Chain A
Amino acid sequence: MDQFSVTLGSKAPCAGKPQDHGHALPILHEIRHALERLIATGEETRIDLNAMPFGPGDLDRLRAWLGTGEVQASVSAMGLTLIQETAIPGVWLVDYQNADAQRLTLHLEIAPVPEILRPQAQDLAEAIATLDARLEEGQSNPPRSS
């Protein structure tokens, strides 16, 4: 099939590659400072990438710079939250989405483990009671298979 193309009045070629607006580089410096704090004191940092005045291509450039690590995870609560480790240990991309897979916000988390992956303190406090309830239920009504 022929390539469908839209021709504009001017002969100037449309930019194939998005312009570099230079807005991704300062974030890398911010991450560097955050990593230093994490290593020295254990202090964690979250950066809201939604609040950055990125132009077209800036976010892709930042993601390319950070690369992809080994861990991927997802949390299913009020829609999905997708967690991706970057190639820099301790630097995570946390993509909060609604039930229609639209982004609510995108954070960079500089932490050993992203907050949303850890059990919440109140849930942990209720853990034994939850397990006991299941044990009780299990004794009176044991699972049929395995």
Chain B
Amino acid sequence: MPVRKNPDKTLGESLRDHGLSRRGFLKFCAATASMMALPPSLVPAIAAALDAARRPSVIWLSFQECTGCTESLTRSHAPTLEDLILNIISLDYHHTLQAAAGEAAEEARFQAMEANKGDYLVIVDGSIPGPDSNPGFSTVAGHSNYDILMETVEHAAAVIAVGTCAAFGGLPQANPNPTGARSVMDLVKDKPVINVSGCPPIPMVITGVLAHYLTFGRLPELDAYRRPLAFYGQSIHDRCYRRPFYDRGLFAESFDDEGAKLGWCLYRLGCKGPSTYNACATMKWNDGTSWPIESGHPCLGCSEPSFWDAGGFYEPLSVPLTATSGDLLKTATVGAVVGGGVAMLAKKRAKDAVANRQPVTVEELEDRL
């Protein structure tokens, strides 16, 4: 994957180079507004902003993950709007997708970091064994995930944690958390962190966040868990088309009873929609074909913290699910930069760690197992 230094073309110029007409651009903007969950009345403003926008450099790091999040982004039928966005951003490092391997790949990351110091975006999928864990649980080129993360975010403009593993620890962090998995926001305290949760997140939501950054040159407004409000501002239950049945007390009691066949509410089959914030009910899945509740399955709550440990998937909700980690709420801020002494301390710790970075040795692995 070639490294483009300081991409100098605007988005409008790049699109025109791709042979896109002005009507095509208008259509692109209409689709982008829809993707960003913004009203169509903003299309002219989006068109003006996108025309002048510059391509950001993006470094994508994959840690303890199943690659489902990358699959979600890339497995839609090409060519899609997502492709277009990905071709337009300068994706300088993504070790699952890039052709380069080994030292050449790592060199591409360093070059992109150097050429775009202070301006590049870091996308992370997967959780990270924390600084006190055995570093050998997950390494890239012999270096621990923790070291690579801290080194890469140091000069980033912002970090986007894609998927519930990166955002909240996800499956690797589920009890008993054998690898000491931590989320990105547990570890990165001195950069804006945006969480795009979901297992996996809806592809349009991942690209919607990128499109927002591209369009407006700043990060979107976030909720208490640092998720973009445009996509996570309403619960599944608030936008569920089965809601009229819930309100009338009409519930399916099993997966094949009459109520299930008539499309009644799935609350008693374990639906976590009332406590889950995500865009499935409107953006849907598989290019807008359907979504879990439309195909008759309760929502599992995959975009919420600790959803793996929140009781059985088929147990009806009794009390609203909230984050179990008090830490999470304390560290969560609406908006951007974390300031003050904590941030400084974290920054110093990160710097020391990077300076002292050493490949993981066999002795170390055996020692900590």
Interface flag for A115 (CB, 8 Å):
yes
Interface flag for A54 (CB, 8 Å):
yes
CA distance A121 to B99 in the complex (A): 42
**Interchain CB contact under 8 A, B262 and A48:** no
**Interchain CB contact under 8 A, B30 and A77:** no
Interface size on A, residues (CB 8 A): 42
Partner of B261, one of A10, A50, A55, A123: A10
Quick check: which of A64-72, A84-92, A99-107, A129-137 contacts chain B, the rest being far away? A99-107
**A98-B257 contact in complex given A48-B34, A53-B241, C-beta closer than 8 Å:** no
CA distance A143 to B244 in the complex (A): 65
- A-facing residues in B141-172 (Cβ within 8 Å): none
CA distance A52 to B239 in the complex (A): 8
Chain A interface mostly: loop
When each residue 9-42 of chain B gets 1 if its CB lies under 8 Å from chain A and 0 otherwise, what string results?
A: 0000000000011111011101101100101110
Interface flag for A122 (CB, 8 Å):
yes
State the Cβ distance, B305 to closest chain A Cβ, in Å.
Answer: 24
State the Cβ distance, A56 to closest chain B Cβ, in Å.
Answer: 6
CA distance A55 to B280 in the complex (A): 12
Q: Which of B28, B30, B33, B262 has the most CB of A within 10 A?
A: B30
Interface flag for A47 (CB, 8 Å):
yes
CA distance A29 to B133 in the complex (A): 58
The residues of B that contact A128 with a CB separation of less than 8 Å are none
**Interchain CB contact under 8 A, A98 and B241:** no
The residues of A that contact B261 with a CB separation of less than 8 Å are 10, 12-15
The residues of B that contact A21 with a CB separation of less than 8 Å are 241-242, 244
Interface flag for A61 (CB, 8 Å):
no
Interface flag for A22 (CB, 8 Å):
yes
CA distance A45 to B37 in the complex (A): 17
Question: In the complex, what residue of chain A is closest to B279 when comparing beta carbons?
Answer: A51
Interface flag for A120 (CB, 8 Å):
yes
CA distance A88 to B241 in the complex (A): 27
The residues of B that contact A52 with a CB separation of less than 8 Å are 282
The residues of B that contact A8 with a CB separation of less than 8 Å are 256
Partner of A104, one of B27, B43, B256, B281: B27
- B-facing residues in A1-51 (Cβ within 8 Å): 8-10, 12-15, 18-19, 21-23, 45-48, 50-51
CA distance A10 to B259 in the complex (A): 11
**A9-B256 contact in complex given A21-B244, A98-B81, C-beta closer than 8 Å:** yes
Chain A residues close to B by CB (< 8 Å)? 8-10, 12-15, 18-19, 21-23, 45-48, 50-56, 58, 75, 77-78, 81, 96, 98-100, 102-105, 107, 115-116, 120, 122-123
18 contacts between A and B (CB under 8 A): A9-B256, A14-B261, A46-B43, A48-B39, A51-B34, A53-B239, A53-B282, A54-B241, A56-B241, A56-B294, A75-B27, A78-B28, A81-B23, A98-B80, A102-B287, A105-B31, A116-B27, A116-B30
